[in-house]
Amino acid sequence: MNRVLACLGLVCTILAAPAHASGMADRIQVGDPHVRLAPPGARATAAFMALQNDGEQPAHLVSAASDAARIVELHDHINDGGVMRMRQVKEIAVPAKGETLLKPGSYHIMLIDMKAPLKEGDHVVITLGFSDGSHKAIHATVRKPAGGAPMRHMGH
Amino acid sequence: MRTWLIALNLLLAAAIVGATFFWHPAPPPALVLAPAPTGGDFELDGPQGPVALRDFRGKLVLVQFGYTYCPDICPTALMEIAQAFAELTPDELARVQALFVSVDPERDDVARLREYTAFFHPNILGLTGPLPRIREAAARFGAVFSRQDDASAGGYVIDHSALTYVIDAEGKLVAALPHATPARLLAQEIRNHLPPPRKETP
């Protein structure tokens, strides 16, 4: 119940402050955005990054778009007793003064049906859309991952 | 008569004490787990024709189920396997084989799988076949998969168990490693089960 009220409060806050100059996009720092180099024949690949929220309010990533792919979706993985279930999600929350990682086996941005095969070192522009309507364009580098390495996401 | 009553009382007392000490209510019926998968032989199609697990007797084999449209889980697993292989000596590597079994025969043919697995490591062989045979192979290892048509606008995805199965040189399933087991641990596990090097004949 409290959570519902808190959510309502948040929605009201968002609705009460439309088209604010400093939207969520401005308060989100994006760390190490990269796209996994897709193996030949793969139809889809994933973009990973760290989303850090400097704001006092939670932020919600609700969309991603890119010219590099025909379909771009927000996804999550659920590890259901060893079975990995990948699902599209409506939003990815970034807690106030907190961080959410988009990383292998977890949240990621799916790039489906690439318009041209991506090469190592390419830069992919991805526009992140937030629940308050603000946007942020980021440049993600295509790279061959050094394994799953969820702990090695920052800096290198 | 009195002695008889005392004896009866003593007997009853003993019965009560005995019951308290020795009677335990029956435990609730235990849930019966499905028998642990034991692995076993399977025969599927590789780039050069039929491939059976028994073809690799004498080698340690890693079996990974997945599909090439899988954007994250399968590349992560295969990348870890490739890195583990990179940590092995050439002599150790010669006694190891990985098999990537597609659970998506509708979209993965052997040519596509060959191109896909070569991206990761030459010691990974992609296999496919008719769905019933893939199901049978998966069942031997306790692997499961199920097609999901509504998970993404980009076409169906396949939920699948992402364990890496380790099969020793005699064809016995010796380990099932969790998804994204780091390459270093994977390499350790490989070395633990690696068959001894073949004696050189003079």
Which residues 45-64 on chain A approach chain B with CB closer than 8 angstroms?
45-46
Between strands A108-114 and A44-53, the pairing is antiparallel
CB proximity A146 to B under 8 Å: yes
CA neighbor of B59 nearest in space, from B78, B85, B79: B85
What is the tens place of the pLDDT at every residue in B87-133? 999 999 999 999 999 999 999 999 999 999 999 999 999 999 999 99
Mean pLDDT value of segment A72-76 = 95
Contact B66, A132 (CB under 8 A): no
> Residue B58, exposed/middle/buried by CB under 10 A (0-12, 13-18, 19+)?
exposed
A75, A23, A73: which is closest to A53 by C-alpha? A23
- In the predicted structure, residue B202 carries a pLDDT above the cut 60: no
Do B69 and A145 make contact, defined as CB atoms within 8 angstroms? no
Counted across chains A and B, CB pairs separated by less than 8 A come out at 113
Out of A43, A83, A113, whose CB is closest to B160? A83
Question: Which residues on chain A are in Cβ contact (under 8 Å) with B71?
Answer: 36, 38, 42, 44-46, 86, 108, 110, 112
Q: Inspect the interface and report whether the beta carbons of B112 and A88 lie closer than 8 Å.
A: no
pTM of the full predicted structure? 0.77
Task: Supply angle C-alpha A7, A9, A11, rounded to 5.
Answer: 70
Nearest neighbour of B116 by CB, restricted to A40, A77, A145: A40
CA distance A21 to chain B (A): 33
Smallest CA-to-CA distance from B144 within B108, B101, B181, B107 is with B101
- Record: contact B180-A73, CB cut-off 8 A: no
Return the top range by mean pLDDT from A81-95, B61-75, B87-101, B146-160: B87-101
Tens-digit pLDDT profile for residues B8-49: 677 776 666 666 666 665 655 566 655 677 888 999 999 999
Selected residue with higher pLDDT from A154 and A64: A64
Three-state secondary structure string covering chain B: CHHHHHHHHHHHHHHHHHHHHHCCCCCCCCCCCCCCCCCCCCEEEECCEEEEHHHHCCCEEEEEEECCCCCCHHHHHHHHHHHHHHHCCHHHHCCEEEEEEECCCCCCCHHHHHHHHHHHCCCEEEEECCHHHHHHHHHHHCCCEEEECCCCCCCCEEEEECCEEEECCCCCEEEEECCCCCHHHHHHHHHHHCCCCCCCCC
Name, in order, each residue with C-beta under 8 angstroms of B110's C-beta and a sequence gap of 6 or more. Answer: B45, B46, B47, B126, B127, B128
Could you read off the pLDDT of B146-189 as tens digits, one per residue?
898 887 888 888 999 889 999 999 999 999 999 989 999 999 99
Nearest to A89 by CA among A110, A69, A113, A105: A110
Q: Which of B115, B152, B157 sits opposite A40 (nearest CB)?
A: B115
Q: Is A84 on the interface with B (CB under 8 A)?
A: yes
CB contact under 8 A, B116 and A39: yes
